[in-house]
Structure 1
Amino acid sequence: MSTAPVPAAASPVPPLFQGLFDDAAVFPPGNLPVADAVPAHRAHRTAWYADAVGPLLCGAGRLDELAAAAQGPVLRVGLVLPGGSAELGPALAAAAPFEVAGVELATRDAREAVAALDLLLPPDVPAAVELPRELLRGDGLDEVLDVLVDSPYRAKFRTGGVVAGAFPDERELAGFLTGCAQRGLPYKCTAGLHNAVRHTDPVTGFEHHGFLNVLLAAQETDPAAAAEVLAERSGEVLAKAVRTLSDRQVTVVRNSFTAFGTCSIAEPLDDLAALGLLSSDPTPQEDR
């Protein structure tokens, strides 16, 4: 006698946030030692919020250190290559003990980076190409995005850092987001986005973009409209806008904005819980 298949349990993480948070714990400003980052990442991957967590990001120069610390089940790793295409071949070889979930290649020449990725990257491994922000101003942005849109690779944009100048203002970020949206080009972001809502850091004075702002701006093709969304500082306003997104809009947003690197997994989750967009304890009362 045949029986109906048992449906899979729904994830406690809404689709808008699934796979959004790449684990950049070993990068500044977190700077968690690799030996501590590995067990912490494994704990994230078995927690109730695991569906929100992407791979553990690791720089090319620390792969030997990571291999020594990553005994046990195969680790999903995203390779971050700040040294450009010259690091690609050696890093892929050094990453043999891991499941390579992606490559993030920094470069000053998008065409050269695409050619290197075409030559060396396994076809099932995704990649993102990052250029310095100074090369993305004016006509430079269109030139780079046009190169990438004709390739299988995402763009990558730096949204923060450890100095004030590393944070683009809303107009600059809006130009990147809408340039990608107009071309149907997916992208990831990195740095400075671990809080949900745009704010001024009370300690550093740095202007931080919020990842909810970026998610909502990802569906805009008009730079002025995107900049307005990026400038919004009310968590209540942003949360209300998130709740009104249709399934189709969620798909459009996440096909565009695929992930961002965060040195803290807890902070974005806590922010979402505080805004009522994610349960901080999804366990039913009777199961506690």
Structure 2
Amino acid sequence: MSSTTGPIPELFHGLFDDAAVFPPGNLPVAEAVPAHRAHRAAWYAEAVGPLLCGASRLGELAAAVAGGAATAGDPPLGVGLVLPGGSAELGPALAAAAPFRVAGVELATRDAAEAVAELDRLLPPDVPAAVELPRELLRGDGLDEVLDVLVDSPYRAKFRTGGVVPEAFPDEAELAAFLTGCARRGLPYKCTAGLHHAVRHTDPATGFEHHGFLNVLLAAQETDPAAAAAVLAERDGAVLAKTVRELTDRQVTVIRNSFTAFGTCSIAEPLDDLAALGLLSPSPLPQEDR
């Protein structure tokens, strides 16, 4: 596996977008802001992406930042805008996010071409964006149609890998179709929801089948749906960890050029999993994140 001079291997740089305010974590915004600042100052900061915030909560976020205890010299808070209401939310959200550094936009839509046009029109050129369509529109020929629209744009795809109900979790074949469709086109993507842990597992409390983020990382280099589905189905953490250790620098680059990030309501859980698998040196995490 590619190594770096810091504690976080290149494979995991910027992988964990901070979705603390979203279900099932539901951390209050006023608590999420200082927690995120602590993540950005911690030994594992290289693994942490922006703080994700829905359009309807940007007022709360502005109040939390204004009333927070930021120290002199702290950089502006990097925020990823999550816009479930589609393109109509884009302009107002960008205006409301003026106090922050907009680190990205995630736009949900039912019309990929319309979303691309609005992003082209309103988004500053240095701000990355991802476009999410409902999973029912990404089945059969619909998947190819959407990915073909996005591959001709500067924007990533976004795919929902879980939620709070069992039907929110795609099976291996459905996720593999998305991953390999993107891989064949050289289209980057991010995932959201359900990837709190490194290895595929059944949640003992809910019975939900969760994909593992290591499974997704390793499947990201596959272009054959059957091969990707087999990687996604692997439940042996030792097998996945061994494969990760054997990755070449080129493979790491290919993987991370494809699978750019995922939203997680806990930063501690994925780091703990990596440490338990021997892929990260254990180090104390902030108490409030446990």
**What TM-score comes out, normalization by structure 1 length?**
0.94
Measured against aligned partners, the alpha-carbon deviations of 1:234-265 in whole angstroms (never above 9, x if no partner) come to 00000000000000000000000000000000
> Aligned equivalents of 1:10 and 1:121: distance in 2?
35
Letter in 2 for 1:68: A
Structure 2 residue 62 is matched with structure 1 residue 67: yes
Q: How far, CA to CA, are the matches of 2:283 and 2:93 in structure 1? A: 39
Mapped partners of 1:211, 1:281: distance in 2: 20
Within the candidate set 100, 103, 109, 1:101 is matched to: 103
CA–CA distance in structure 2, aligned partners of residues 127 and 11 of structure 1: 28
Matched residue, 1:26: 21
1:176-195 aligned at under 5 Å gives the runs: 176-195=178-197
Partner Cα separation in structure 1 for residue 181 and residue 283 of structure 2: 38
Structure 2 match to 1:285: none
Are 1:16 and 2:18 an aligned pair?
Answer: no
Q: Distance in 2 between matches of 1:160 and 1:43?
A: 27
Match of residue 153 from structure 2:
151
Find the aligned partners of 2:275 and 2:177 in 1 and give their Cα distance: 30
2:42 maps to which residue? 47
* Residue of structure 1 aligned with 2:215, choices 209, 213, 216: 213
Helix, strand or coil for the counterpart of 2:273? helix
Question: CA–CA distance in 2 between the matches of 1:52 and 1:279?
Answer: 13
State how far apart, in whole Å, the 2-side matches of 1:185 and 1:205 are.
32
1:44 counterpart SS class? helix
Q: Tell me the SS of whatever aligns to 1:70.
A: helix
Aligned to 1:286: none
CA RMSD of aligned residues (A): 0.9
| TM-score, reference length from structure 2 | 0.94
Letter in 1 for 2:257: N
Matches within 5 A, 1:179-258: 179-258=181-260
The aligned counterpart of 2:30 is 35
Secondary structure at the residue paired with 2:235? coil
Q: Deviations over 1:182-236 (max 9, x none)?
A: 0000000000001000000001000000000000000000000000000000000
Q: Partner residue of 2:288?
A: none
Counterpart amino acid of residue 218 in structure 2: L
- Structure-1 residue corresponding to 2:137: 135
In structure 1, give the amino acid aligned to 2:34.
P
In 1, distance between residues paired with 2:220 and 2:240? Answer: 13
**Aligned AA (1:112):** E
**How far apart are 1:70 and its partner, in Å?**
1.0
Query: CA separation in 1, counterparts of 2:50 and 2:281?
Result: 22
Matched, 1:56 2:51: yes
CA drift of 1:280 comes to 1.1
The amino acid of 2:9's aligned partner reads: P
Q: What CA distance in whole angstroms lies between the structure 2 residues aligned with 1:45 and 1:280?
A: 17
Q: Partners in 1 of 2:246 and 2:169 — Cα distance? A: 29
1:166 is aligned to 168
1:220 alignment partner, SS class: coil
Number of matched residues? 274
Please state how far the C-alpha of 1:281 moved relative to its aligned partner.
2.5
Paired position in structure 1 for 2:127: 125
Task: Give the unaligned 5+ runs of structure 1.
Answer: 1-8, 283-288
Aligned equivalents of 1:129, 1:187: Cα separation in 2? 9
Q: Which has the larger radius of gyration?
A: 1
Tell me how far apart the structure 1 counterparts of residues 103 and 6 of structure 2 sit (CA, whole Å). Answer: 21
Q: Which whole-Å deviations, capped at 9, do the CAs of 1:112-145 have from their partners, x for residues lacking one?
A: 0000000000000000000000000000000000
Match of 1:116 in 2: 118
Identity level (%): 86
